[in-house]
Structure 1
C-alpha cells in the first residue's frame, strides 16, 4: 500500500494479522446507540444481522454529529450514486452517474452552510431522507419490500427501487473509539435493483436481475482526523448471490470490524482486521484484501477521484470501481469461490 504521509498512524496489517481475532458480540435485541446523556451506550457495542440499533440520540445538540445515507447502484452499463448527509455544521450531498462504456460522467455536489434543506430519519427505515440544494434533488423512501431512490441533477435523473428480498441480512456494526466518539454503520450489499435512468433526455432501463444496490447508512460522532478503506461488491457467481463487504483503518484497535461476506442472503461475519495491499499512485494495479478466511483480488476499471481542501476541512478520496474475485472459507470449512463481482474499493482520508 502506498501511504499518505499526512494520514494518521495506524497499526500495520501484519501486526494486526498476528493477533487472533476475538469474536464480536452479536446483538439480537433492539438497543439504543446512546444513553440519555448522549454518550455511547456500551450495551450497543457489537454487530447485528439487521438494523436494530436506535440512533435517534445522534443529531441532538452539538458534538460532531454525522449522519448520512449513501446509495450506489451498478447496472451492466452505468453506475449511479447518491449521498444525503448532515455533518452538524453543513449539509453535504452528491448525485453522480458514470457511463461505463463511454467513461462519461454526470455529477453535482452541494455543500450547504449551515445545514438546511436536508431531512434524515432518526434511524434506518424509520422515515424518508431528502435533500434539496441548487440543481440537486434527492428523495429516499421506504416502499413495500424495498427502498425507492430518486435523484435529479442537470442532465441526469434516476428512479430506482432497491429490493429487499425475504430473509436478506445486512451488516450493522457499532464502532467505539471513546464514550463520546463512536459510529453506527449499516452496510447493506447485494440488494437487487430495478428502475430507470434518464441521461440528457434519453431514458434507459435499470434492468432487473442484472443490477445491484448497496447502502452505507451512518450515524455517529467522529474524530476530526480519520482515514478508512471500504470495499463492496454484489453479483451472481457460480449460481450464488455474493455480497462483498470489507473495511479497514478506521476500525483498527476498536475491537469491532465491518467485514463480512453475504452468500445467498446469509451474512457471514469476519471478526479479523483484514490486510489491504494496494497502490493509489497506480490505481490500475489490482488490490488484495486477505484475512479471516477471505482471499480477494479487486481489479479496477475506473477511479473516481475527489479532493477538497478548505483549510481546516479537507477530504481526499480515491474510489476505484472494478471486479472482485477470490475465495472465502465459511466457518465449517466450505470454500466459496467467486468471480466477476462488480463493486468498488476506496481509500479515504478526511479532516472534518
Structure 2
C-alpha cells in the first residue's frame, strides 16, 4: 500500500525567510534532504539521539538544545538480572556551549558536535558526534552517580544506499517538526565502565545503531509514542520505525520499515495498545487499513524518568524488549519478525 504523503526528492529549506514553515518542506524522504534553517528562540527544539544495541546491552547518547536550556546525557543498560544501569545527565542553562547544525550531526559535510568538558567531573557530560570516512564516530565521557568513569567510543557505519525516514510534521505555520529516523545501522566499538569493557561488534554480532534527529518548533505540551528496533530476522536485515499520537491530525506520519536497506513508508497512524499500570505487560502495534504491521512488543525492562525543572516537566516510560509478529513491504513481501530487539515508549512532555 503506497503512502498518500508527498515524497520529497530534492534538497529543501524547512523554513521560509520569515521563520515560518516552508510549505514545500512538508512531506517525507528516503534520505535526509531538509536543511533545518530555524532562527532564534520561540519554542525551538533541536536534538541528536543515538542508541546502539547488542543482544546483551545498549548505550544511548543525547545532545539537545531546548531553547532555554540544553540537556546532554549518556545512558547505559546491561540486560538480565543484576545488569548494570547508569545514566549521566547534564543540564546547561540557556544552552551555553551547545550548538547543533541545520543538518544531521556526523553526516558527511555536516558540522561536528562537541559538548561538555574534555574530562568531566560529577554532573558534567562530554559528548562528541563526528563525521569520519567510514561513518559517524560517537564518543562520550562522564562520571556515573556511583563515581565510576564511563567512556563510549563507537563507529556507526553508513552502508551505501541504506535508506532512512525523514518527515516534516506540520501543526501550523508556526509549529512544526522535522524528524529523521535511521535504523539498522551496523556499529562497532566499546564502552568502558570503571575497569569493565563492553564490546559492540558490528553486524555479524548483532550490534545496531538507531538515530533520532529532530529540529522544530513545538507546542507547549505534547504526548507521543515512539518504537524502534533493528536486527536480522527471517533472512533479512530489518529496521522498525514507529510513532504515534503526536502526529495525529497533521496529515503526516513517521512510520516506516527498512528491509535490507530499502524503506517502506507507511502512510497511516498505527494502533498502539499498552498497559499504563503494568510496565512489563506486552504491547500491540498494528496498522488497521493496510495490514502492513501486526506486532507484539514484549518488554523486559522499564526505564522510568520524571523531570520537573520549572519550565520543563517530563514523564517517560521507555520499555526495552522484543518485537514479534509480521510486517509487509511495499512490494508485498511478508516478513516474519522474531524477537527483534528494540524499545517502545510512552511520553508526556511539557517544555
Question: SS of the residue aligned with 2:8?
Answer: coil
Q: Which consecutive residues of structure 2, in runs of 5 or more, have no partner in the other structure?
A: 118-122, 144-148
The whole-number CA distance in structure 1 between the counterparts of 2:56 and 2:193 is 13
Q: Aligned runs of 1:16-55 on 2, under 5 Å?
A: 23-55=4-36
Q: Over residues 293-320 of structure 1, what are the superposed CA-to-partner deviations in whole Å (9 max), with x where a residue is unaligned?
A: 1101111011111001234421000000
Question: SS of the residue aligned with 1:122?
Answer: coil
Q: Aligned runs of 1:34-183 on 2, under 5 Å?
A: 34-55=15-36, 57-58=37-38, 60-101=39-80, 102-124=82-104, 125=107, 126-132=110-116, 134-154=123-143, 155-183=149-177
The whole-number CA distance in structure 2 between the counterparts of 1:212 and 1:280 is 29
Q: Which consecutive residues of structure 1, in runs of 5 or more, have no partner in the other structure?
A: 1-19
The whole-number CA distance in structure 2 between the counterparts of 1:40 and 1:193 is 35
The whole-number CA distance in structure 1 between the counterparts of 2:87 and 2:275 is 26
Aligned partner (choices 251, 260, 265) of residue 264 of structure 1: 260
The whole-number CA distance in structure 2 between the counterparts of 1:340 and 1:103 is 20
Bigger mean CA deviation after superposition, 325-334 or 30-39 = 325-334
Equivalent residues of 1:297, 1:326 under 8 A apart = yes
Question: SS of the residue aligned with 2:278?
Answer: coil
How big is the shift at 1:121?
1.6
1:252 aligns with 2:252: no
The whole-number CA distance in structure 2 between the counterparts of 1:339 and 1:144 is 34
Runs of 4+ more than 4 Å apart = none
How big is the shift at 1:103?
2.6
> Aligned-pair RMSD on alpha carbons?
1.5
Question: SS of the residue aligned with 1:198?
Answer: strand
Q: Over residues 267-313 of structure 1, what are the superposed CA-to-partner deviations in whole Å (9 max), with x where a residue is unaligned?
A: 00000101000012111111000003110111101111100123442
The whole-number CA distance in structure 1 between the counterparts of 2:12 and 2:134 is 24
Aligned partner (choices 280, 283, 298) of residue 284 of structure 1: 280
Q: Using structure 2 for the length normalisation, give the TM-score.
A: 0.91
Question: SS of the residue aligned with 2:24?
Answer: helix
Q: Aligned runs of 1:207-246 on 2, under 5 Å?
A: 207-209=201-203, 210-246=206-242
Equivalent residues of 2:2, 2:265 under 8 A apart = no
How big is the shift at 1:104?
1.7
Q: Over residues 130-154 of structure 1, what are the superposed CA-to-partner deviations in whole Å (9 max), with x where a residue is unaligned?
A: 2216431000011124111001111
Question: SS of the residue aligned with 1:327?
Answer: strand
Question: SS of the residue aligned with 1:118?
Answer: coil
Question: SS of the residue aligned with 1:43?
Answer: helix
The whole-number CA distance in structure 1 between the counterparts of 2:329 and 2:304 is 34
Q: Over residues 312-349 of structure 1, what are the superposed CA-to-partner deviations in whole Å (9 max), with x where a residue is unaligned?
A: 42100000000111111223432111112101000000
How big is the shift at 1:175?
0.3
The whole-number CA distance in structure 2 between the counterparts of 1:172 and 1:136 is 28
Q: Using structure 1 for the length normalisation, give the TM-score.
A: 0.91
The whole-number CA distance in structure 2 between the counterparts of 1:286 and 1:203 is 32
The whole-number CA distance in structure 1 between the counterparts of 2:179 and 2:20 is 17
The whole-number CA distance in structure 2 between the counterparts of 1:212 and 1:252 is 29
Equivalent residues of 2:3, 2:265 under 8 A apart = no
The whole-number CA distance in structure 2 between the counterparts of 1:54 and 1:242 is 28
Equivalent residues of 2:47, 2:213 under 8 A apart = yes
How big is the shift at 1:247?
0.4
Residue 199 of structure 1 corresponds to: 193
1:349 aligns with 2:348: yes
Question: SS of the residue aligned with 1:103?
Answer: coil
